Amino acid sequence: MDRILLKAMGKINLGLDVVRRRPDGYHEVKMVMQTVNLYDKVEITAEEEPGIRISTNLSFLPVNENNIVYKAAALLMERCGIDQGVSIHLEKHIPVAAGMAGGSADGAAVLYGMNRLFSLGMSKKTLMDLGVTLGADVPYCILRGTALSEGIGEILTPLPPMPDCWILIARPPISVSTKFVYENLHLETVEKHPDIDGIVQAIRDGDLYGMCSRLENVLETVTVKKHPQINEIKKFMCDRGAVSALMSGSGPTVFGIFTNERETRSACEALKETGLARQVYVVKPFNP
């Protein structure tokens, strides 16, 4: 094998709570993650000539050590003494810097792909332990599926698949700084925290409506205040048939949970016409 093509899948947060800020500046979280069938394509080719070469379909993405894909490849090369080179082509579809862990998914795909390409024999657990050094979401992006995430995101408990549904994803044409959101999250002023345990139990019970009634993201208290169009998109989705809608991660991506494919696709077309969102997709949940 000298080439491997992988799907790097994005995620949404069905619930996101921040428990506390640690003395080292990291935030401890408690959240429910779900992989969705919206993915980047990552093609990795083994080369005789040493080095890491990256290409991508988006001109504004770095193709050097500032890209997590490069960092992931360099990490494995150094750890495993790989003296060959790799060429990595990244075809992006997951919205960039939008709360869907697109970069983390790409980094996870490179760890997984190079492990297979070079027959390194690393377990999923080992890859996940390596992944956390690249970013808190990387271990989850290796695990995938439905999971409870704690700590800084690296303590993962697999859950049963979320109840079947259709998901409408919309990324508004705004930029959100994750750093800004966390720096401006003042936990002492948060009056109500998401019921993460309730979401987990509803998933275990296969109760879609029970799950949807508890969808909540504490980071909305910061992001929505700065970007009210996030609430506009949520309301639009609910008015068009979504059981519930929520911002994913630190935003600005919004997703709506629907029970009917036709209704979801109709809402998708209507949302595109409003100009509220630049990227709009209809997807299904993904579980390995």
Return d(Cα 36, Cα 255) in angstroms, integer: 11
Compute CA distances 245 → 238, 240, 280, whole Å.
7, 11, 14
Displacement of CA 51 from its chain's centroid (Å): 28
- 244-247/85-91 β-pairing: unpaired
Asked if 11 is an active-site residue, the reply is yes
Q: What is the residue whose two structure tokens read 């997703």?
A: 255
The active-site residue out of 11, 30, 92, 234 is 11
The active-site residue out of 17, 40, 137, 234 is 137
> How many CB atoms are located within 10 Å of the residue 1 CB?
8
What positions carry a catalytic annotation?
A: 11, 137
